Structure 1
Amino acid sequence: MVLLVLLVLLVPKVTEVILASLGYLDQLGKAECPESQVKKEDLENPDNPDDLENLDNLENPGRPGEPGRPGEPGSNMMCRQDATGSSCTDPRAFAKLELDVEVKPFLPDELKVAFSAGLTDSGSVGPFDEETTLIFSKTITNVGQAYNQTAGVFTAPVRGLYFFSFTAADYLKGYMGLYLYRNNQPIIFNLDLNDHGGYASSSSGVALQLEEGDRVRLSLPASYRLYDDSRNFSVFSGFLLFPL
């Protein structure tokens, strides 16, 4: 009977001690893991509904997911802003530009045409009773062989634009002058008066459009005279500017 009374009196005390011990251990675990307690409090916050899933992913990570599809390509556009607004240009468009340029073949043997020739080494030429074609017999340059030094005539090898020039000299008083002809048509008449005696000269030049086979020459009017010697006072020159 006495033992039964003791059990009845001791059981509540023992139960109370056991429960108190369990509470202490729970508080001790919370103190040792404050980070877990904070995380739980955060997870209980209804303002962060995604935290529960994030925490679960951190504590129990799954296998890596499949790679995502490639993103859209970035823009290569070049844009500028000014007072009228903005405008953009794709630089790749420049690579598609094609130059519409007609390249003509260069024919060296046909396009290189030039000559210069001196009149004579004999001194005075003229005066004559009638107009006379002058023969510039001292060839200085004759690229393309278009000038005939025997006849004193240049013949155009191709249709094109040509430039001709000449210088005439004399040392006596009187008139000196020259005609320049295209075929039988006079193009230039160059006249000068040597009124003082001594050496004097006169020069002129012209650009002419010639057809293939056209002839150009210089002619001395009747009663006029010129002078030349090894120093080349009187010279006839011409060259092709470009074919047409």
Structure 2
Amino acid sequence: MESRLAEQHSNTTELLRRLSVSEKHLENLETETSALELRLDASEKCLEDVKTENTAELEAVTLRLDITEEQVDKLRTNSTAVSVRLNETNQRLQEVTNTDSGELKVAFSAGLTDSGSIGPFDKETTLIFSKTITDVGQAYNQSAGVFTAPIRGLYFFSFTAADYLKGYMGLYLYRNNQPITFNLDLNDHGGYTSTSNSVALQLEVGDRVRLSLPATYRLYDDSRNFSIFSGFLIFPL
């Protein structure tokens, strides 16, 4: 009997020990659970803060986008208005230019040289009519022998070229790099002879008109102005 009581007492002691261990383990679990709950609360709070910040940033970005779109619309409206004003200004400028062009006067005459014979040259050469007789409107460049149209219009050009030795004489009239006329004459008697021509040309602003001496040809001029290049504006277009 005492042996059985001792055994039961031993079993009870073991159960109490195990119960104590289980209670200790339970306390540890409760502590860990509390810690996890705290961490969970902190995570949920952080998540809520992030959501709040993202919402605020999204609202700020949306607001900035709305403002930017509004500014773009205003810029487009202003650009349209500026384009309209620019077109009106260009139209008025064109009207003023056309009005002023009607009053512009252009005319020139120039003699070839005082030094006698010009040519022959090995290649075609632009003639420099160096003696300016008249230059109303300052459209003739004496040093280059070139007339440059100051306005769009219809112009009239004429020339007379002379020589006194036997052989061929002649010259081209060019508009820019396009030959318009070519005059040719054979001096077979060895005395003074001349050739002349005239033409009306429609020119754009900046178009250039010049006379050119072909290779192996020659001309003559002196103080009596045998060789003359002239032109004038008939009317603007």
* TM-score category of the 2 structures, normalised to the smaller one: 0.5 to 0.7
Q: CA deviation at 1:109?
A: 8.8
Name 1:129's counterpart in structure 2: 122
CA distance, structure 2, for counterparts of residue 110 and residue 222 of structure 1: 41
Q: CA deviation at 1:108?
A: 7.3
| Matched length | 141
8 Å contact from structure 1 (residues 162, 208) kept in 2: yes
Unaligned stretches of 5+ residues in structure 2: 1-96
Q: 1:26-41 alignment to 2 at 5 Å?
A: none
Q: 1:112-127 alignment to 2 at 5 Å?
A: 112-127=105-120
The letter of the residue matching 1:211 is E
Q: Does the alignment pair 1:176 with 2:169?
A: yes
Name 2:154's counterpart in structure 1: 161
CA distance, structure 2, for counterparts of residue 161 and residue 141 of structure 1: 19
User: SS of the residue aligned with 1:107?
Assistant: helix
What percentage of residue pairs aligned between the two structures are identical? 86
Greater helix fraction, Structure 1 or Structure 2 = 2
Q: 1:27-176 alignment to 2 at 5 Å?
A: 107=100, 111-176=104-169
CA distance, structure 1, for counterparts of residue 225 and residue 101 of structure 2: 30
Name 1:197's counterpart in structure 2: 190
Name 2:208's counterpart in structure 1: 215
The letter of the residue matching 2:207 is D
CA distance, structure 2, for counterparts of residue 140 and residue 106 of structure 1: 29
Q: CA deviation at 1:107?
A: 3.1
8 Å contact from structure 2 (residues 128, 144) kept in 1: yes
8 Å contact from structure 1 (residues 134, 152) kept in 2: yes
8 Å contact from structure 2 (residues 164, 193) kept in 1: yes
Name 1:63's counterpart in structure 2: none
Q: Mark the structure with the bigger radius of gyration.
A: 1
User: SS of the residue aligned with 1:179?
Assistant: strand
Q: CA deviation at 1:111?
A: 1.8
CA distance, structure 2, for counterparts of residue 198 and residue 214 of structure 1: 37
Question: Equivalent of 2:235, from 214, 239, 242?
Answer: 242
Runs of 4+ in 1 over 2 A off after TM superposition: 104-110
8 Å contact from structure 2 (residues 101, 236) kept in 1: no
Unaligned stretches of 5+ residues in structure 1: 1-103
The letter of the residue matching 2:202 is Q
CA distance, structure 2, for counterparts of residue 110 and residue 213 of structure 1: 19
The letter of the residue matching 2:194 is S
CA-based RMSD of the aligned residues comes to 1.6
8 Å contact from structure 2 (residues 102, 235) kept in 1: no
Q: Deviations over 1:103-162 (max 9, x none)?
A: x97537952000000000000000000000000000000000000000000000000000
